[in-house]
Amino acid sequence: MAATISFARGVPSADLLPIAELGAAVQRALAKDAAGMLLYGDPMGYLPLRTWVGDRYGYDPAGVFVTNGSLQGFALLAELLFAGSGGRAAVEAPTYDRTILTLKRFGATVDSYTLLEDGLDLAALEQSIADGRTPGLVYVIPNFQNPAGNVTTRRVRERLVALAAEHGFWIFEDDPYGDLRFRGEDEPRMLDLDTAGRVIYSTSFTKTIAPGLRAGVLLLPEELRKGMAYIANQTYIGAVHFAHGTVAEYCESGDFDRGLARVRPLLEQRKDALVAALDAHLGDRFQYRAPEGGYFLWGRLAGVDCDALLPKAVAAGVPFVKGSDFYADGRGGDELRLAFSAVKPEDMDEGIARLAALL
């Protein structure tokens, strides 16, 4: 029996990592371009990886910015847009906790808009705009949202893109989970719906290869490129080209797509095991919707104070993340996020049984 069964971290378990493939990729990459990987390089990132990403997304490689993880890309952007000047940023409620903290760190005022089943509450956003509280940036996680697991519908995506064009705000489309769909059909990227150049698209190799590579991607509209390259250069000179050279080689060889094809059904198996365990041990007490991809299952334990439950769950070896962490405005006291990505299917039942025993 596993001592700790962690539902807390949105990471893959070690058995999902493509260790042999990355070992081979690093050797090949060094044989090809040791100097490019081992010296300082372009602050916009390692060129072969930018080129591969540009081809994959149909984007000019000059606007592909590769950072040490996508959170760093977002932090650089928040610095560019808000540091010293302030401004408003709109987020879904709930949303990724580090985004809220990063925006606040750089002086943004964070306005929360409830995440409805089909996406961010557009009526509330439009009301804010009408009231003169137009955001400078709208931050959306469109696929298998962290923490809620939602997918934003095409209708909401189209309306957000139209509003951005009309009111001149940026949309940050944070999409680290879009490649991890195990059921259903993809919705179009806002990047591809946008004709006004207001979408900054972000993805990451953290969830699709390995978090320790620290490889994140921003697709930057022309207006932002110079400013972002300047801040990157001032912050770290150049990103970790050693890792990014390895990622480029891994992707170019076809291992990236093979890795996705291998991991998606394994993630679905974990989600299925979690759903079965929740239904068996918690039944109607836990309200949730099973996601069609990604890493997370989000739900409500009606009447339960999840902030108070958490230390008990940690002591029982079943940590989760409490819902209140994902709101900028104090909501979420009876909600929680369960990451199924790092829990083996055979440990799922035991983990949820331990949690249920605490209630």
Would you tell me which residues interact with ligand PLP (CB under 6 A)?
Answer: 10, 69-71, 96, 141, 146, 174, 176, 204, 206, 211, 216
**CA nearest neighbour of 143 among 155, 153, 128, 130:** 153
- Nearer Cβ to ligand PLP, position 12 or 216? 216
| Residue, CB closest to ligand PLP | 69
- The widest CA-to-CA distance across the chain, in whole angstroms, is 59
Nearer to ligand PLP, 70 or 134 (CB): 70
Q: Which is nearer to ligand PLP, 150 or 324 (CB)?
A: 150
Nearest CA among 338, 331, 334 for reference residue 359: 334
Q: How far is the CB of 357 from ligand PLP (least distance, A)?
A: 29
Q: 161 or 215: whose CB is closer to ligand PLP?
A: 215
The HSE-up count of residue 59 (CA atoms within 13 Å, CB side) is 28
Tokens of 285: 């007490």
Q: Is 242 exposed, middle or buried (0-12, 13-18, 19+ CB in 10 A)?
A: middle
Dist. CA 213–CA 273, nearest whole Å: 29
User: Least distance from C-beta 35 to ligand PLP, angstroms?
Assistant: 26
Distance of CA 46 to the CA centre of its chain: 22
CA dist., res. 333 & res. 345, Å (int): 28
C-beta of 144 vs 281, nearer to ligand PLP: 144
E strands within 158-309? 170-174, 199-204, 216-219, 286-288, 296-301
**Residue 81: burial class (beta carbons within 10 Å; 0-12, 13-18, 19+):** buried
Least distance in angstroms from the C-beta of 203 to ligand PLP: 8
CB of 307 to ligand PLP, least distance (A): 21
Query: How far is it, in rounded angstroms, from Cα 273 to Cα 294?
Result: 15
At residue 36, what is the residue type?
Answer: G
Q: In terms of CB distance, is 146 or 150 closer to ligand PLP?
A: 146
Q: How far is the CB of 24 from ligand PLP (least distance, A)?
A: 23
Taking the complex as a whole, how short is the minimal distance between the CB of residue 96 and ligand PLP, in angstroms? 4
Q: What number of other Cβ atoms are within 10 A of residue 281's Cβ?
A: 18
- Minimum separation from the CB atom of position 255 to ligand PLP (A): 19
CB of 95 to ligand PLP, least distance (A): 8
CB nearer to ligand PLP: pick between 169 and 326: 326
Q: How far apart are alpha carbons 72 and 301 in whole angstroms?
A: 33
Residue 47 or residue 141: which is nearer to ligand PLP going by CB?
141
> What would you report as the CA-atom Rg of the chain, rounded to the nearest whole angstrom?
20
